[in-house]
Amino acid sequence: MGMTITEKILADHAGEREVEPGQILNVRVDIALGNDITAPIAIKEFKKVGALKVFDREKIVLLSDHFVPNKDIKSADQAKLIRDFAKEHDLTYYYEVGEMGIEHVLLPEKGIVLPGDLVIGADSHTCTYGALGAFSTGVGSTDLAAAMISGEAWLRVPETIKFVYTGKLNKWVSGKDLILYTIGDIGVDGALYKAMEFTGDVIENLPMASRFTMANMAIEAGGKNGIVVPDKITEEYVTNRAKREYKFYSSDKDARYCDVKEYDVSKIEPQVAFPHLPENTKGISEVGNIPIDQVVIGSCTNGRLEDMRTAARILKGRKAAPYTRLIIIPATQWVYRQSMKEGLFDIFLDANAAISTPTCGPCLGGHMGVLAKGERALATTNRNFVGRMGDPESEVYLANPAIAAASAVLGRIGSPEELQNPGEIDEI
């Protein structure tokens, strides 16, 4: 019997010829990741057991991205803890303010995570790297501590659901809409502890930015990991970035799937997830009149250069509506610099947007855009749980960058097609 791409990567990293769903494995880790929220706990556990050194200084990545630039004394202490640990162990990959970026955009950009890797991270959205054809998943801080010491982790082999996307994408529809639609269909626990393998001719032609977005939100369906079989588009992305050798895996034709879901994307319009779960999705035509107080464009889900370009395309020559705050957060220093070079910042500033240094910031209610009681935000982020972006009585709606930018102009959730002279929305 054949194996899926997920099973093959796990088998190779466990030193096994074959594995099957439900099997418990001890696997070799290629990259272990921690941030300013989760790494401090791991570091304390590392020291508690008396460990003296990390297993490999080139396979541990630490960075501060959630509460930086530090918003208070506690967050400054957290950042200092991982800074001191990185210095003590001379870690190759340590990033902070001035060089850092949002982890799940930065690591692929830097060529640190690669196709065929097995990556664990003490952050649930570590599943992002599956877009490269890697097995990547979130773990607890104690698991991160163990991996930093041993270079290994234990995992149960997940069953795989195959998601097949066919047809032609509608205007303004991107990977964000495909994954929101999928989560709306199967629910936030519809892929619980399962691998979500994204396939079909639509995925084969989908740019890396949209693939990253889809893999990023696999966790919002309960998935253990999201993954795309690597191809020419993957190769183009990694070839000049890779820090080391990598391997392309693929699923066998007779691979076992616990379920297969098929979607005709021509029937999918831009999606909006209503509070307070990502599964509460509606097509943009069904949204109705929902005024908003704030729009956030950024995060590990949609803070890439392609997202900045899409937002600029909509905002060019327009301004955010009165009393609607527009916050734009490029995900990395490179995205920031390139956006500036391309003149996108001028468009954003002319639209009365606030542009932030790279940070997770408001996505988790950290800083740079926390909501007050009763306020509503539309965001390109990945979660809209109760109190996620601020007061428990605030509301967060999720959408793609095109819908977010148009909504900032309209002062309510809406589409670029509603803007005056929509034909003037040209390529940036």
| Contact criterion met (CB below 8 Å) for 49 and 7 | no
| Contact criterion met (CB below 8 Å) for 157 and 23 | yes
- Longest C-alpha distance within the chain, in Å? 66
Residues 6+ apart with CB under 8 A from 48: none
Query: pLDDT tens digits for the chain (428 residues)?
Result: 799 999 999 999 999 999 999 999 999 999 999 999 999 999 999 999 999 999 999 999 999 999 989 989 999 999 999 999 999 999 999 998 888 899 999 999 999 999 999 999 999 999 999 999 999 999 999 999 999 999 999 999 999 999 999 999 999 999 999 999 999 999 999 999 999 999 999 999 999 999 999 999 999 999 999 999 999 999 999 999 998 999 999 999 999 999 999 999 999 999 999 999 999 999 999 999 999 999 999 999 999 999 999 999 999 999 999 999 999 999 999 999 999 999 999 999 999 999 999 998 888 888 888 999 999 999 999 999 888 888 899 999 999 999 999 999 999 999 999 996 654 566 65
Which one-letter amino acid corresponds to residue 253?
Answer: K
| Structural domains for the chain | 5-263 (3.30.499.10), 274-424 (3.30.499.10)
Residues 6+ apart with CB under 8 A from 136: 113, 117, 118, 119, 120, 121, 126, 127, 128, 129, 130, 225
User: How far is 248 from 116, CA to CA, in rounded Å?
Assistant: 6
User: Residue 115: is it exposed, middle or buried by C-beta count within 10 angstroms (0-12/13-18/19+)?
Assistant: buried
Write down the pTM of the prediction.
Answer: 0.94
